[in-house]
């Protein structure tokens, strides 16, 4: 990516998202994580999700939309087809908010399953979609 392309805010943020996503991808590969590895997986999910919705927000703003919150951003991104699984994204937002404020092993195990089954695939779709957009 050349300097001119990096001047666009969503592309700058996407570069950070790629790094967080790579860490999440590495921890997803751990099939039977220890408690510490599970905590790392959840932390990398939180970082990836935070950067993902901000990439969407920056992109939407560049396209002329006005969004202020993660929920607004997800809804608008779904409306215009940037993401196809709006419900999954809203669930991920809810779980991200839950895991940021508390750590309980039972909750962590349940959230890990959701990350593996639904949230990581949604983040992977976003990664592929914006990787293509960043190359244009």
Digit-coded pLDDT (tens) for 66-100 = 999 999 999 999 999 999 999 999 999 999 988 87
Q: Which two tokens stand for residue 94?
A: 């809810």
DSSP 46: H
Which tokens go with 38?
């599970």
Pick the CATH number of 7-135 from 2.40.50.460, 1.10.600.10, 3.40.50.20, 1.20.120.330: 1.20.120.330
Residue 27 CB partners (closer than 8 Å, separation 6+): 33, 37, 40, 41, 44
Parse the chain into domains and list their residue ranges.
Answer: 7-135
From first to last of its 136 residues, the chain has per-residue pLDDT tens of: 444 444 689 999 999 999 999 999 999 999 999 999 999 999 999 999 999 999 999 999 999 999 999 999 999 999 999 999 999 999 999 999 888 766 788 888 999 999 999 999 999 999 999 999 998 8
Q: In terms of Cα–Cα distance, which of 113, 123, 47, 44 is closest to 89? A: 123
């Amino acid at each position: 990516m050349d300097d001119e392309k990096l001047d666009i805010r969503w592309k700058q943020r996407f570069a950070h998202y790629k790094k967080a996503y790579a860490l999440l991808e590495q921890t997803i590969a751990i099939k039977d994580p220890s408690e510490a590895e599970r905590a790392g997986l959840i932390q990398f999910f939180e970082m990836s999700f935070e950067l993902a919705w901000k990439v969407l927000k920056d992109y939407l703003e560049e396209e002329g939309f006005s969004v202020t919150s993660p929920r607004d951003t997800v809804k608008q991104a779904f409306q215009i087809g940037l993401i196809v699984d709006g419900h999954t994204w809203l669930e991920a937002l809810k779980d991200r908010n839950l895991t940021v404020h508390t750590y309980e092993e039972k909750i962590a195990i349940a959230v890990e399953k959701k990350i593996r089954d639904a949230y990581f695939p949604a983040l992977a779709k976003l990664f592929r979609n914006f990787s293509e957009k960043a190359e244009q």
